[in-house]
Amino acid sequence: MAYPTGNIMAGKRGLVMGVANDKSIAWGIAEQLAAQGAELAFTYQGEALEKRMRPLAESVGSNIILECDVTNDEAMDKTFAELEAKWGKIDFLVHAIAFSDKNELKGSFVENTSRDNFLKSMDVSVYSWVAVAKRASKLMTDGGSMITLSYLGAERTIPSYNVMGVAKAALEASTRYIARDLGPSGIRVNAISAGPMRTLALAGIKGGRDLVGTGREWSLLKEDTTMEGIAGCALWLLSDLGASTTAEVVHVDAGFHAVGVPESAASAE
Ligand code: NAP
């Protein structure tokens, strides 16, 4: 992917959480931030992922690659202690983490949602944002900016998205409450509501890959969401260009969220 280069992030350091491979949204954002001069640290979970993560991180000049399972408080404390020992302070954070049992990302929400997976989905996909924001904010001693990734399923019903939609609604509400608490410390907190992208996470949703392509037919721009669009929005929010913007959910979905009824469903006459 070719991202615009420059110095918008020169002198800024930050942590990127949620790169699984080079298709991950977090990776597109990382590439754009690096192309604008940011210094990056990454987290991964699991040994296999470290093997995939290392060459990616090195390709953007990063050698800080830390293990972090966000369901484990001690693991998170250790990750942020290691980051503090390396850098002392950070300027930004990218949280691009979600999980739900794919057996429940299909069919009926009301019939298929178990208590266990409801709690697990909320833990990994929502509480992790709160837990990570708490720890990252302690390192943002000169203010900072943090973002998470959401989806339209927070606001509208999407086939098969089910419990993840409920989790994304809670993620967006959490963004506003975190922003409220951290605002006085000069820390901005926002979410990007991205259109569908071909990633591992999308593959876990039944029919998820069919969502890619709907933008071309139904969005206002008549095109699919691009990684460049998402990464550009992240650059705006995480840099000083985003001054004064906090507690916001910015849609980067070619205007899909604003469509009530598509042209194809209405008579042209
Ligand atoms: P992805 O490449 O699969 O990234 C999801 C990441 O979450 C992976 O790195 C995954 O690590 C990590 N994760 C899951 N459980 C974790 C845990 N317990 N501890 C630490 N990390 C954990 O997919 P993606 O689409 O880029 O997803 C990034 C974010 O964007 C998610 O919040 C997703 O809901 C959101 N989003 C995606 C789309 C889309 O269409 N793809 C649209 C809007 C929003 P493992 O691989 O090791 O599990």
Judge residue 246's burial from the number of C-beta atoms within 10 Å of its C-beta, 0-12 exposed, 13-18 middle, 19 or more buried: buried
Query: What is the model's pLDDT at position 230?
Result: 98
**Mean pLDDT of the chain, nearest integer:** 96
Q: What is the CA radius of gyration of the chain?
A: 18
Please tell me the distance from the alpha carbon of residue 144 to that of residue 92, in angstroms, as a whole number: 5
Neighbours of 32 (CB within 10 A): 25
What is the distance of C-alpha 113 from the center of its chain? 24
- CA 149–ligand 1 middle distance (angstroms): 9
**Residue-range domains of the chain with CATH:** 13-255 (3.40.50.720)
- Among candidate residues 205, 154, 149, the one with its CA nearest the CA of residue 18: 149
Characterize 70-87 residue by residue with b for buried, 16 or more Cβ atoms within 10 angstroms of its Cβ, and e for exposed. Answer: beeeebbeebbebbeeeb
Query: What is the model's pLDDT at position 263?
Result: 83
Neighbours of 135 (CB within 10 A): 18
- Interval 139-172: pLDDT, tens: 999 999 999 999 999 999 999 999 999 999 999 9
- Atom index in ligand 1 nearest the CA of residue 46 equals 47
Both tokens of residue 38? 């940011």
**Of 49, 200, 253, which is best to mutate to test ligand 1, by the most ligand atoms within 8 angstroms of its C-beta?**
200
Query: What is the model's pLDDT at position 50?
Result: 84
- Among candidate residues 32, 45, 49, the one with its CA nearest the CA of residue 92: 32
**Which residue has its alpha carbon closest to ligand 1 atom 45?**
20
Contacts (Cβ under 8 Å, ≥6 apart) of 260:
none
Please tell me the distance from the alpha carbon of residue 92 to that of residue 46, in angstroms, as a whole number: 24
Which DSSP letter does residue 196 get?
Answer: P
Residues with CB under 6 A from ligand 1: 18-20, 24-26, 45-46, 49, 69-71, 96-99, 124, 149-151, 194, 196-197, 199-202
Is the pTM value of this prediction over 0.85? Answer: yes
Tell me which amino acid residue 118 is.
F
- Interval 174-229: pLDDT, tens: 999 999 999 999 999 999 999 999 999 999 999 988 898 888 999 999 999 999 99
Q: Which pLDDT band, with edges at 50, 70 and 90, does 267 fall under?
A: low
- CA 242–ligand 1 middle distance (angstroms): 24
- CA 124–ligand 1 middle distance (angstroms): 10
- Interval 54-97: pLDDT, tens: 999 999 999 999 999 999 999 999 999 999 999 999 999 999 99
- Atom index in ligand 1 nearest the CA of residue 124 equals 18
- Among candidate residues 135, 66, 71, the one with its CA nearest the CA of residue 97: 71
